[in-house]
Structure 1
Amino acid sequence: MNPAIQGLITIILGVGGCVGYFYLSNQFLDKVLFPAKGEHAGRNINRANMVRPWLFLAPALLFLGLYLAYPVVATFILSLSERVPGDETRFVGFENYRLMFSEPKFWEAMRNNALWLIVVPAFSTAFGLLAAQLTDRIRWGSIAKSLIFMPMAISFVGASVIWKLVYDTRPADQDQIGILNAIYLHLGGTDPQTWLTIPFWNNFFLMIVLIWIQTGFAMVILSAALRGIPEETIEAAVIDGANPFQIFFKIKVPQIMGTIAVVWTTITIVVLKVFDIVFAMTNGQWETQVLANYMYDKLFRANDWGVGSASAMVIMLLVTPILVWNVMNARKEMR
């Protein structure tokens, strides 16, 4: 069957199924369980109104449990087990965690993830805030915003391929197609550098890719927040003699600090799950391993489900507090 037709049928069945469920469940609630007639009509209406929200939430709760809660529980159980001959599992307790914590590669991944957490959210948020402020002050700001936001439309793998060409290295007797090496040699460098194989610094070259992508996201959110600042506040500051830097750092930034925190934490969650960029550019070699790549190597290359699941639980434990704080802070901002 044609994929387009198959997709259309899936959409029709999905939407039709949802509409049918809501209609039939509403009829069942009002006509069968709690009919609005007789001496208990008022009480039945109240009961139906109490049950109705849960009836409508039931499909969402079902799918959340099936595709979110169940995989988490199953992964945790796998992290406490190991595979034995015959594709069976044996309970080993926290032995997989002990093995994982004793591996240098795991601590390399933890160190690199910590480095990513320090650098990427800070620079992405700072550049996004700078771009939001500057593009709002120029006539062609909309075009500039479109260009800055454009990397968000590119997949992580696509962006990695682009930047891999930027870092490309050819022998010294050949023309360099990598922009960075071409500039380096033009400025007086002697030999082309293999940028992605330089330990420690190669992590920063990878981080540039994610900063390039996430700056557009930060700019859009922060630009909306800056527009929400009352004009009267800015005008009062101008009348009091404040210069543009004072207006920005002492008036605008404090008023959007909540939005800045949300942007920062959202990018932090993306960083904790980063996989595509490292996988496509270095495959975790030359001391660039991160937690998601470590998990992938254990699960699909070493076929070690126990340690791989344990590393997945570590990633989830690191992401969950930030995610909870982000949601709570967003609700606070909405109030």
Structure 2
Amino acid sequence: MHPALLGVITIVIGVSGCVGYFYGANLLLDKVIFPAKGPNMGQNINRREMIRPWIFLFPAMLGLGLYLAYPVFATLRLSFLERGAGDVYTFVGFKNYVQMFAEDKFMEALRNNILWLVVVPAASTAFGLLTAQLTDRLRWGNFAKSVVFMPMAISFVGAAVIFKLIYEARPEDVAQIGVLNHLYLTFGGDAPQQWLTIPFWNNFFLMAVLIWIQTGFAMVILSAALRGIPEETIEAAVIDGANPFQIFFKIKVPQIMSTIVVVWTTITIATLKVFDIVFAMTNGQWETQVLANYMYTKMFVARDWGMGSASAMIIMLLVMPILVWNVYNARKEMR
């Protein structure tokens, strides 16, 4: 069957199934289970209205249970098992975790992830805030914002391929197609550099890809927050003699601090899960391993489901406090 036709059929079945479910469930509730007639009509109406919201929640709860809750518990169970001969799994407790923390590659991945967490959210948020502030003062600011936001439309793998070409190194007697090496040689460099193979610094070259992508996201959110600042506060600061730097850092930034924190934590979560960029550019070689790449290698290359699941649980444990903090702040703002 042609893929386009298969896609249309899938959409039709999906939409028809949703409409049929909601229509049938409401009809069953109104006409069969709690009919609006008889001596208990008042009680039936009350019960019916109490149950109706759950009809709409059930598909989402079912999806979350099947595709989120169950995989988490299955992964947790696998992290306590060890694969033996004949694909027989035996319970080994925390052995996978102990063995994992004893591996140099895991510790390298953990160190690199911490480095990513320090650099990427801070740089993306700072560049996004700076861009949002500067473009608001330009006549062609909307066009500039579109250009900065454009990388968000590119997949991580696509962005990794673009930057891999930027970092490309050719022999000295061949014209350089890599922009970075071309500039390096133009400004007096002695020979083309293999940027992605330089330990420690190559991590920053990889981070540049994610910063390039996430800056657009930060800019859009923070630009909306800046426009929401009451003009009266800025006008009062100008009357009091505040210069542009004081207005920005002492008037604007404090008023949008909650938005900055949300942007920061959102980018932090994306950074913790980074995989595509590292996999496409170095595959964890030259001391660029990260946790998600380590998990993939253990689970799908080495076929060590226990170690792979244990590393997945470590990533989830690192993400959880940030998610809880986000939810707490969101509820606090609502109150």
TM superposition score category, shorter chain reference: over 0.9
Is 1:27 the counterpart of 2:6 in the alignment? no
SS in 1 for 2:86: coil
- Name the % identity: 77
TM-score with structure 2 length normalisation? Answer: 0.98
Is 1:53 the counterpart of 2:53 in the alignment? yes
SS in 1 for 2:203: helix
Counterpart of 1:116 in structure 2 is 116
Calculate the aligned-residue CA RMSD, in Å.
Answer: 1.1
Amino acid across the alignment from 1:145: K
Counterpart of 1:36 in structure 2 is 36
Separation of aligned partners in 1, 2:123 and 2:88: 47
Separation of aligned partners in 2, 1:200 and 1:330: 37
Separation of aligned partners in 2, 1:32 and 1:85: 56
Displacement after TM superposition at 1:88 (Å) = 2.3
Counterpart of 2:84 in structure 1 is 84
Partner deviation per Cα, 1:190-217 (whole Å, 9 max, x = no partner): 1111111111011001101100000000
Counterpart of 1:141 in structure 2 is 141
Counterpart of 1:129 in structure 2 is 129
Amino acid across the alignment from 2:24: L
Partner deviation per Cα, 1:30-66 (whole Å, 9 max, x = no partner): 2222112122211111111111111221111111100
SS in 2 for 1:180: helix
Separation of aligned partners in 2, 1:79 and 1:314: 10
Counterpart of 1:319 in structure 2 is 319
SS in 2 for 1:90: strand
Displacement after TM superposition at 1:85 (Å) = 2.0
SS in 2 for 1:82: strand
Counterpart of 2:150 in structure 1 is 150
Give the aligned length. 335
Displacement after TM superposition at 1:79 (Å) = 0.6
Displacement after TM superposition at 1:334 (Å) = 4.4
Displacement after TM superposition at 1:327 (Å) = 2.6
SS in 1 for 2:175: coil
- Structure 2: give runs of 5+ residues left out of the alignment: none
Is 1:279 the counterpart of 2:275 in the alignment? no
Separation of aligned partners in 1, 2:191 and 2:125: 35
Separation of aligned partners in 1, 2:82 and 2:58: 35
Counterpart of 2:187 in structure 1 is 187
Counterpart of 2:213 in structure 1 is 213
Displacement after TM superposition at 1:12 (Å) = 1.4
Separation of aligned partners in 2, 1:19 and 1:238: 57
Amino acid across the alignment from 1:123: A
SS in 2 for 1:172: coil
Counterpart of 1:5 in structure 2 is 5
Separation of aligned partners in 1, 2:237 and 2:37: 64
Separation of aligned partners in 1, 2:332 and 2:217: 21
TM-score with structure 1 length normalisation? Answer: 0.98
Counterpart of 2:252 in structure 1 is 252
SS in 2 for 1:86: helix
Amino acid across the alignment from 1:12: V
Counterpart of 1:97 in structure 2 is 97
Amino acid across the alignment from 1:133: Q
Displacement after TM superposition at 1:244 (Å) = 1.1
Separation of aligned partners in 2, 1:333 and 1:159: 35
Displacement after TM superposition at 1:5 (Å) = 1.6
Counterpart of 1:203 in structure 2 is 203
Amino acid across the alignment from 1:50: M
